[in-house]
Amino acid sequence: MKRRSFVTALIAAPFVITRPAVAQVPAVAIAFPLQTPIHVTKSGLRARDAEALSLWYQTHVGLQELSREGATIHLGAGGITLLEITEVEGIVLAPMRVAGLYHNAYLLPSRHDLARWVLNASNLGMRIDGAADHLVSEAIYLTDPEGNGVEIYADRPADEWEWNNGQVEMASLQIDFQGMVAELQGQETRWFGAPPGTCLGHVHMKVGDTARASAFWRETMGFDAVRERMGASFLSTGGYHHTIAVNEWNSFGAGPRDPIHVGLDFVELGGSAVTAAASYQDDWGNSIRMAV
């Protein structure tokens, strides 16, 4: 979908949302990806201007500043850190075709939360790169001021996902934004920031060779490849649609990352299958931490 087209569609949508007198606060359930044996806990970014980037993630994603430590700002939701932004002097923006971060994907607890985010994005006139119904989820895509991709998404119920021979069915269809927002009828419609239960559902990286990257995640990190097609590999544990994704769409043949560039600092993984702290790097210099 073209940038901002869904915002225009929402403004013209022929329905009216009413607010209840008292906001309804549902119980927070543990997100599916956080129940898997290995999942993403947080990620880090190397930034030219940590202050400005932090403000962008607060206004656009709804993360809250939790603490500061030296040159690093910790952001999260529900008191849990999901993103660490570290300012590094002298670094520069990264060209599109180098390896590194494709996007950090923030999973909201429900479709209703995504609808509230959509209304807020419409009201603020946010710049949107695209949106898609992936069958397993509905996702909106943005780019932060330093060129890092961001996904805001909500999962469909896992019992609606279709699997064939260990491969999950995914697609890129048009989202029914009017239907999504209409589900808020009679409920609170305002967006108060990323609610408790929001997590970093998956991280998608750019690599120079998808087959080699997929082998690393399977053989070294213990993941299953749950979808492989068109230059991308989607991997997870415990039956999630993907916790890690790698692609060569814009970075085919790329070599190791240059430390002069902004972008991904690290991806941190945790879960019941992580029994000891450890650090890894893939062939492109993407850093992975295992935390217990």
Q: How confident is the model at residue 29 (pLDDT cuts 50, 70, 90)?
A: confident
Distance CA 105, CA 137 (A): 11
**Burial class, 202, CB count within 10 angstroms (exposed 0-12 / middle 13-18 / buried 19+):** buried
- On the question of pLDDT at 14 being above 90, the answer is no
What would the two tokens of residue 184 be? Answer: 């808020």
- On the question of pLDDT at 250 being above 60, the answer is yes
pLDDT value for 241 = 99
pLDDT value for 7 = 52
Contact 13, 189 (CB under 8 A): no
Contact 62, 164 (CB under 8 A): no
Question: Which one, of 112, 123, 113, 116, lies nearest residue 4 by Cα?
Answer: 123
- On the question of pLDDT at 1 being above 50, the answer is no
Contact 168, 66 (CB under 8 A): no
pLDDT value for 258 = 98
pLDDT value for 284 = 99
Long-range contacts of 214-217 (CB under 8 A, 24+ apart): 214/246, 216/282, 216/283, 217/244, 217/246
Predicted confidence (pLDDT) per residue in 113-149, tens digit: 999 999 999 999 999 999 999 999 999 999 999 999 9
Q: Supply the mean pLDDT for the chain.
A: 93
DSSP assigned state of 32 = G
Three-class secondary structure of residue 158 per DSSP: helix
Does 104 or 28 have the greater pLDDT score?
104
For each of the domains in the chain, give its residue range(s) and CATH number, in order of start. 5-9+27-290 (3.10.180.10)
* Percentages (nearest 5) of helix, strand, coil residues in the chain: 20, 35, 45
- On the question of pLDDT at 5 being above 70, the answer is no
Distance CA 128, CA 140 (A): 7
What would the two tokens of residue 80 be? Answer: 């849990």
The 10 Å Cβ neighbour count of residue 284 is 23
